[in-house]
Amino acid sequence: MDATGATGATGTPEARSRAHQLVEAARQLFAAGVMSHSGHANLSARLDSDSFLLSPGFVRDLEPHQLATVGLDGRLLAGELRSVSAEITTMHGVVYRARPQVGAIVHTHSPAATAFAVAHRPLPCRTEPMLRFGQPEEVPVVPWGPRGSDVSVRGIVDVLERRPTTSAVLLANHGLLVFGPDAAAAAHLVVAIEESAEAEIAAAAIGGAVDFPAGALEAVRASIARVAP
């Protein structure tokens, strides 16, 4: 552990800020009730062009000193990771390499979203929070591969290339992977996606969900612009 209190942080104010943003994002996810029974998740935040902070695999009561620094190539640079967490370093690294604008990534086993992943069904965008929080399109499914394997990583890369505007993917038979400009934005989108998945499943019992009308995204953007400071 270094003087910042974060094992993986470099000691800079920016690194300390990123570490505390991840801790707060984890707290928000549990407060929102979107986590699995186990509380399994991985959260990360980009530090620079070559490295990122990564949480352990279970983030209930996450603290800054639990974070490790990992290179975009998957190498552990500082701190500690259990073997079960080391498997997912490439999953985060490949997203940061493919999307230079991404500042944070959240992986969860949120139950309703994971139901779509298990069913290999893309999650449609039919709720306004998904429009507002960065996913105005369906969440695509990445074909299954062992976690952290070349098969899994190639699947993520392929979907990101084919869907350049998506901010989330469903990992088949596994869970949800969300990415955004910062940890708070990624956490907000996890909540929006999980609530949307719950609504889709509930709507199926009463005839099925219905798509937005044409122009819905533009209308939401215009509404946001009217109240923006």
Residue 6, in any domain of the structure: no
pTM over 0.85: yes
Query: What residues make up the domain containing 160?
Result: 13-227
CATH of the domain at 103: 3.40.225.10
Residue 159, in any domain of the structure: yes
Total of domains in the chain = 1
**Residue position matching structure tokens 């073997």:** 83
Instruction: Tell me the one-letter amino acid at 219.
Output: A
Residue 5, in any domain of the structure: no
Residue 129, in any domain of the structure: yes
Phi-psi region of 165 (alpha: psi -120 to 50; beta: other; left: phi over 0): alpha
Residue 1, in any domain of the structure: no
Residue 176, in any domain of the structure: yes
Q: Which residues contact 150 (CB under 8 A, 6 or more apart)?
A: none
Report pLDDT for 84: 61
Q: How confident is the chain (229 residues) per 10-residue block, as mean pLDDT? A: 43 89 97 94 95 90 93 89 75 95 97 98 96 94 88 94 97 97 98 98 96 89 76
Q: Which of 135, 184, 201 is nearest to 32 (CA)?
A: 184
Report pLDDT for 82: 75
Whether 141 and 152 have beta carbons less than 8 Å apart is answered as no
Q: Which of 87, 138, 194, 195 is catalytic?
A: 87
Cα 129 to chain center, whole Å?
16
Q: How many CA atoms lie within 13 A of 202 on its CB side?
A: 8
Report pLDDT for 225: 79
> CA–CA separation, 67 vs 45, rounded Å?
10
Residue 126, in any domain of the structure: yes
In the structure, how many helices (H) and strands (E) does the chain have? Answer: 8, 8
Residue 22, in any domain of the structure: yes
Token digits for 151? 């098969």
> CA–CA separation, 94 vs 104, rounded Å?
12
138 is catalytic: no
Token digits for 98? 């493919």
Whether 38 and 108 have beta carbons less than 8 Å apart is answered as no
